[in-house]
């Protein structure tokens, strides 16, 4: 075995030596080389000294607001999962619109004999459509009349109001 091969083996086993995990045979070879090679013995002293120095360092203290920042980031991310997906939102809007149209149509179909309190320009208003538990407005339903204060003609559906 050449000197450089022994040095290479030394490099490969230096950490096992320091951990005490070399076999008895390997340990003997390691020590023999360690005693004969000044460069390798110097390298081993360096490793031991630096390892001692580095492991003694305390973990650096994080900024005081770290916990709050991490908590906020994770909470914000979790909220994204809890919001209804757009397709569900539009399905909700469509269902709400269909229900409202059905109710008002039923009332409007009463014609001239409709009961008092039926849909007129005075009693029907613009309705914001929202999902239960969600304050955001998904869309608006507005009654449309043939003439001001006259009979109901239909409904206009619009998207969320602009901010």
Interacting stretch for another protein, rule CB under 8 A, among 63-71, 119-127, 132-140, 152-160? 63-71
Is residue 141 helix, strand or coil?
strand
By CB under 8 A, residue 14 contacts another protein: yes
Q: Which is nearer to another protein, 17 or 97 (CB)?
A: 17
Asked if 71 is part of the footprint of another protein (rule: CB under 8 A), the reply reads yes
Give the DSSP H/E element, type plus range, for residue 85.
none
CA distances from 95 to 66, 90, 117, 124 (A): 44, 8, 25, 19
Nearer to another protein, 73 or 99 (CB): 73
Member of 35, 62, 159, 161 binding another protein (CB under 8 A):
62
Query: How far apart, in Å, are the Cα atoms of 29 and each of 7, 19, 26, 33?
Result: 11, 16, 5, 6
Interface residue with another protein among 28, 31, 74, 136 (CB under 8 A) is 74
Contact by Cβ (8 Å): 30, 15:
no
Structure tokens at 145: 């009349």
Q: Which is nearer to another protein, 10 or 108 (CB)?
A: 10
Which residues of the chain form contacts with another protein (CB under 8 A)? 11-12, 14-15, 43, 46-47, 49-67, 69-74, 77-78
């Amino acid at each position: 075995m050449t000197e450089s091969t022994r040095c290479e083996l030394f490099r490969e086993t230096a950490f096992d030596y320091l951990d005490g995990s070399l076999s008895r045979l390997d340990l003997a070879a390691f020590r023999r080389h360690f005693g004969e090679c000044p460069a390798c013995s110097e390298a081993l002293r360096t490793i031991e000294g630096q390892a001692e120095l580095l492991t003694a360092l305390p973990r650096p203290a994080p900024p005081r607001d770290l916990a709050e920042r991490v908590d906020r980031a994770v909470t914000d991310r979790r909220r994204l999962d809890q919001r209804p997906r757009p397709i569900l939102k539009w399905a909700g809007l469509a269902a709400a619109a269909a229900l409202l149209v059905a109710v008002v149509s039923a009332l409007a179909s009463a014609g001239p004999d409709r009961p008092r309190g039926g849909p007129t320009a005075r009693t029907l208003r613009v309705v914001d459509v929202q999902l239960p538990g969600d304050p955001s407005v998904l869309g608006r339903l507005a009654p449309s009349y043939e003439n001001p204060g006259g009979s109901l003609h239909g409904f206009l559906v619009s998207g969320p109001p602009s901010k």
